[in-house]
Structure 1
Amino acid sequence: MPIADATKKQIAQQRRLYFKICFRCGGKNPISSTRCRKCHSDQMRLKNRTLGAKK
């Protein structure tokens, strides 16, 4: 069921798309983090936010 309210849709997109992923363990971390919360590695990447279907 799609979200009709624009404010709620923006909140949902922030939660689903704006975080960092650890290269070593794959842990999900806040966007402001510099080290992983699980393995304490500093090798982080941003979540891929490209639009469109998978190929």
Structure 2
Amino acid sequence: MIRVEVVGTGYMGENHVRICSEMEDVRLIEISDPNSSRVKELAARYKLQEKKKSMIRK
């Protein structure tokens, strides 16, 4: 199991979140970005749970 943290929620960051969330052997453990509304948007889209200012997969 590979654990991944994505830093940044721009164009490439969102692609990394999407791809990691689709892979069986990858666990997306955190998304970090100063723009909390963007982090929450991606968290909702990819079913992630909020943990402080970042998100972590349920």
Per the TM superposition, whether the score is higher than 0.5 is no
User: Higher Cα Rg: structure 1 or 2?
Assistant: 1
Q: Normalising by the residue count of structure 1, what TM-score does the alignment of the two structures yield?
A: 0.28
Which one has the bigger helix percentage?
2
Q: Is the strand fraction higher in 1 or 2? A: 2
